[in-house]
Amino acid sequence: MGSRQHLDGLARSARSLQDTVGELHAALTAGNERRAGYARDRLAEQARAALGETGSYGFERSRPGSHTPDPDPDDLLAEAVHDLALSQALISAAADVGETDAGEGATRDGGGGGGAGSESGRLRVAGDSLGRLATALKPPDRFGFEAAASASPDLPTAIATLRQEAASCLDRIHERSAGVAGAALAKIPGVSTITTTAQEILDKLGVGALTGTLTKLAARALHKALTALHRLIPMEALDRVNTAVSQLADGLDKDKAAGPLLMSALLGTEGVRSALDERLARDALDRARLDGARTELAELGDRFGKHMDVLAIAITVSTAVVAWLATPLAAGAVAALLLGAVLVLAADYADAWSLPVAVRGVRTVVEDATA
């Protein structure tokens, strides 16, 4: 899932931010203004580093004439969710220290400097989100030590077990993606459409007039996060994705339990299953290659599950961020973007749509093993 070095860096950043948020919460609760001020300044400095304003990591678009490759989609997703969680932490901190443009929460909780705002629990929730993200970005326990595929006793067994693994992987894609989509709709109702640029969403959110140090950093983190999520959606597939997002939202609104079947229909994976059956009916298949494909599909399903874990965090965090800024129209645009990311990842892993290749999906793995 992405470049290990970058994901490890994001995990360390999330854990460090969690520590700082916890320190700020503790200081505000204790009424220790000096300690709270130190923690607030530390959080702002960490945010600037994470946003690339101090030479630290952060994705930038390739400059004209350069040959810098686009970032890995796995890295883009992790970076986007990291920055969403950072934005949530900054918003929560701004409200609890009493920045004047931190939204209704700061006024409702009594605003400035002392410990009043800390009683809301916002910072504790933001810290928990950062901790969950750090855990989700960790490599699997057996990372780098995957066991070799157990050898099938004969060719019919190899064919049958590969068919079963492929079906299981597709089912897992349907179930996990439908679950995450349902969670998004439950928390951010009123889906609209994905815009042609991420900036259009930011314009709807109305972040241009912010003046506080932490709120301005929160807006920059949100801008960076939404831009990264937007880059996961291939522009050549935007119309198809928007149509699928609308159908998914309508279908889940009518019957939440039908999510996996609805996802299967939207992705068109019955066609993938039929194509795989035809490939596995070929003559002169190689047993060892089929066994290798079976192991690869098991790992593919695990990778997809990790993606959905990360997107589930994104949805939880987005709920808090959108509540701070959004009009219903802006909330719908954010929800559409999250659902679009779910659909594109599911379609990519299933090899269900004609998309720019990001992963070796189910269809590709089986086709290569039966070539």
80-108: per-residue pLDDT in tens?
A: 999 999 999 999 999 899 885 555 433 33
pLDDT over 60 (residue 306): yes
Residue-wise DSSP of 110-146? T-SSSSTGGGG-HHHHHHHHHHHHHHHTSPPTTTT-P
Higher pLDDT, 192 or 217: 217
Block residue for tokens 């901190």: 93
pLDDT over 50 (residue 56): no
4-52: per-residue pLDDT in tens?
A: 788 899 999 999 999 999 999 999 999 999 999 999 999 999 999 999 8
119-140: per-residue pLDDT in tens?
A: 568 899 999 999 999 999 887 6
Q: How confident is the model at residue 219 (pLDDT cuts 50, 70, 90)?
A: confident
Alpha carbon separation from 65 to 61, 62, 68, 157 (Å, rounded): 12, 8, 9, 53
pTM: 0.84
- Please tell me the predicted confidence (pLDDT) of residue 102: 56
> What mean pLDDT comes out for the span 334-357?
87
| % helix, strand, coil for the chain, step of 5 | 70, 0, 30
Q: Average model confidence (pLDDT) for the chain? A: 82
Share of the chain above pLDDT 70, in %: 82
> What mean pLDDT comes out for the span 179-206?
79
Rounded to the nearest 5 degrees, what angle is found at the Cα of 79, between the Cα atoms of 76 and 84?
125
15 burial (CB, 10 Å; 0-12 / 13-18 / 19+) is middle
Q: How confident is the model at residue 206 (pLDDT cuts 50, 70, 90)?
A: low
> What mean pLDDT comes out for the span 136-145?
64
Give the domain ranges of the chain: 1-139+206-232, 152-194+234-371
